[in-house]
C-alpha cells in the first residue's frame, strides 16, 4: 500500500516508492529507496513537495508513525517565510568563510594534468606501435599506471575532473586513459591493495589495444555498422589478447580484461559468450567503467550523455549485463552529482562539480561559471556547498538540478584546459 506523505513529515526508515514528478527528472538514481540518513531526507525535501511511501517496505517500527502522519496531515502546514537574504558570491568574506582553498585545488589539478598528459603521450605511442604490429612496451605502461594510481590517492577529485577532457576525434586514446583512471578510482574505493590496483589499471589501460587492428573506416564510421562491419569490430578484444599473449610479464588477469571486457552476465557478450561465473572480478569492474566512459563521451556517431544520466542508464542495464554489487558500489563511488557534472543551484547560478565531500555527498564543491542572470563569470569561484556558513542564511546555495552543458553553451573541456594549464 502507498501513502501520500508531505516531505516535511518524512522520517528515517520510510521507503520512498514514488515522487510527485517523474524519476527521470530527479537526482535519484534508484526508483524506490529507504531513507537511511538525514541527508537523504533533506535531498528529498529539496526535490519534492510530497512523495508516496510504501507501507509494506517500511519497517514495522516506523509504520505506526507513518499511519499517524497520513491520518492527521491531509495538507502541509504553511510556514511563515523568513525574509530572504540573497546569496552574493562576490562577497569575498563569505567565500573565505565557505572554507575552500582554490589555490590548493588548482595546484592539485595542475599536478594531475602533468601525470595525465605524460600517460596520454605514451598511449599515443602505444597505439601507433600496435597499428604497425610492433611489440608494446608494457613495462612503461606499468610505471605510468603506478604513477596514475599514486596521483589518484593524492588528487582524486582533480584526476576525476580531468576525465572530462574529451575530444570526439581522439576517442580511442582518451577512452583508454579515462577507463584506466575510472578503474583505479573504483578499485581504490573497493579497497584493492596496491599490487592488485596496478594490475587492474594496467588491464584497463590496454583493454582496447585490439582496436588498432580494426580498419579506420569501421572504427570511425559515423553511421550504423553493417552486420559484417560489426563482426569485425567485435573482433578487437581477441585481437588485443593475441597481440599481448606473448608478453610473459602480463598476468592472466590483465589478459582476461583485454579479451573479456565486452562479456556480459547474460552470456550474450563477446567474443566467447561467457557466463557470469566465468567472467573475472577485474573484468566485471572494467566492463562497467568502459561503458560509463563510452556513453558519456562524444563519438563520431552520437553525443555523450551527462554523467548522471549515464549512471541511470547503467543501473537500468544492470540486471542483464553488470554485477549488481559492483554497479551499486560504482554509483556510490561516482556519487549522485558526479565530478564534472554541470549543475544549477537554487540561487540560479550555474557551476561545475569539482570535488565530492566524504561526509556530505549531496553538497559538493562547485566551480561557479555563470551568475543568476546566466552570464559567464570573468573569474570563476569555488563554493563549498557543505560549508556551515550557509546554514545561517536563507536561500542557501543547494543544487536544484543537473544540466546538459549544451543547454547554456558551456564548454567543459575549455574550462578544464584553462584551469589546469595555468
Digit-coded pLDDT (tens) for 159-188: 999 999 887 778 889 999 999 999 999 999
Query: Distance between CA atoms of 177 and 180, rounded to whole angstroms?
Result: 5
| Residue 99, number of CB atoms within 10 A of its CB | 12
The 10s digit of each residue's pLDDT in 306-335 is 898 899 899 999 999 999 999 989 998 998
| Selection from 202, 174, 168, 166 nearest residue 187 by Cα | 202
Q: Say if CB 354 and CB 367 are below 8 A apart.
A: yes
The 10s digit of each residue's pLDDT in 369-418 is 999 899 999 888 888 888 877 776 666 788 888 899 999 999 999 999 99
pLDDT for residue 84 is more than 70 = no
Query: Distance between CA atoms of 43 and 145, rounded to whole angstroms?
Result: 37
Query: Distance between CA atoms of 230 and 43, rounded to whole angstroms?
Result: 43
Q: What's the fold here for domain 102-334?
A: Hypothetical protein af1432 (1.10.3210)
pLDDT for residue 217 is more than 60 = yes
Judged on CB neighbours under 10 Å (0-12, 13-18, 19+), 298 is middle
Task: Look at the chain and count its residues.
Answer: 422
Burial 111-138 (b: 16+ CB within 10 A, else e): bbbebbeebbebbeebbebbeeeeebeb
CATH 1.10.3210.10 in the chain is located at 102-334
Q: What per-residue confidence (pLDDT) applies to 283? A: 98
Q: Say if CB 257 and CB 199 are below 8 A apart.
A: no
For 235, the 3-state DSSP assignment is coil
H/E stretch holding 268: none
Amino acid at each position: 500500500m502507498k501513502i501520500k506523505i508531505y516531505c516535511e513529515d518524512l522520517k528515517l526508515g520510510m521507503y520512498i516508492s514514488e515522487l510527485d514528478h517523474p524519476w527521470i527528472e530527479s537526482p535519484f538514481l534508484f526508483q524506490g529507496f529507504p531513507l537511511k540518513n538525514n541527508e537523504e531526507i533533506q535531498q528529498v525535501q529539496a526535490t519534492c513537495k510530497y512523495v508516496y511511501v510504501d507501507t509494506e517496505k517500511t519497517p514495522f517500527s516506523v509504520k505506526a508513525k507513518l499511519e499517524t502522519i497520513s491520518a492527521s496531515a491531509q495538507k502541509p502546514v504553511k510556514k511563515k517565510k523568513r525574509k530572504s537574504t540573497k546569496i552574493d558570491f562576490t562577497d569575498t568574506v563569505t567565500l573565505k568563510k565557505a572554507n575552500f582553498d582554490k589555490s590548493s585545488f588548482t595546484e592539485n589539478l595542475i599536478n594531475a594534468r602533468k601525470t595525465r598528459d605524460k600517460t596520454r603521450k605514451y598511449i599515443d605511442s602505444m597505439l601507433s606501435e600496435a597499428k604497425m604490429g610492433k611489440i608494446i612496451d608494457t613495462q612503461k605502461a606499468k610505471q605510468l599506471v603506478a604513477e596514475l594510481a599514486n596521483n589518484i590517492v593524492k588528487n582524486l577529485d582533480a584526476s576525476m575532473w580531468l576525465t572530462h577532457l574529451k575530444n570526439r576525434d581522439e576517442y580511442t586514446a582518451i577512452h583508454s586513459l579515462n577507463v584506466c583512471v575510472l578503474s583505479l578510482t573504483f578499485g581504490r574505493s573497493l579497497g584493492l591493495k596496491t599490487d592488485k590496483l596496478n594490475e587492474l589499471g594496467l588491464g584497463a589501460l590496454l583493454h582496447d589495444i585490439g582496436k588498432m587492428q580494426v580498419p579506420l573506416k569501421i572504427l570511425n564510421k559515423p553511421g550504423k555498422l553493417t552486420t559484417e562491419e560489426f563482426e569485425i569490430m567485435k573482433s578487437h578484444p581477441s585481437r588485443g589478447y593475441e597481440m599481448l599473449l606473448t608478453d610473459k610479464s602480463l598476468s592472466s588477469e590483465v589478459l582476461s580484461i583485454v579479451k573479456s571486457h565486452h562479456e556480459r552476465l547474460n552470456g550474450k557478450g563477446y567474443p566467447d559468450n561467457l557466463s557470469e561465473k566465468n567472467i573475472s572480478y577485474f573484468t566485471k569492474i572494467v566492463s562497467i567503467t568502459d561503458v560509463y566512459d563510452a556513453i558519456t563521451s562524444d563519438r563520431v556517431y552520437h553525443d555523450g550523455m551527462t554523467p548522471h544520466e549515464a549512471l541511470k542508464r547503467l543501473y537500468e542495464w544492470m540486471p542483464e549485463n553488470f554485477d549488481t554489487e559492483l554497479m551499486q558500489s560504482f554509483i556510490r563511488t561516482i556519487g549522485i552529482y558526479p565530478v564534472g557534472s554541470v549543475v544549477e543551484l537554487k540561487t540560479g547560478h550555474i557551476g561545475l562539480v569539482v570535488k565530492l565531500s566524504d561526509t556530505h555527498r549531496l553538497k559538493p564543491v562547485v566551480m561557479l561559471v555563470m551568475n543568476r542572470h546566466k552570464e559567464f563569470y570573468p573569474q570563476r569561484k569555488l563554493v563549498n556547498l557543505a560549508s556551515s556558513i550557509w546554514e545561517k542564511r536563507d536561500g542557501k546555495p543547494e543544487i536544484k538540478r543537473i544540466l546538459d552543458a549544451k543547454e547554456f553553451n558551456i564548454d567543459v573541456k575549455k574550462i578544464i584546459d584553462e584551469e589546469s594549464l595555468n
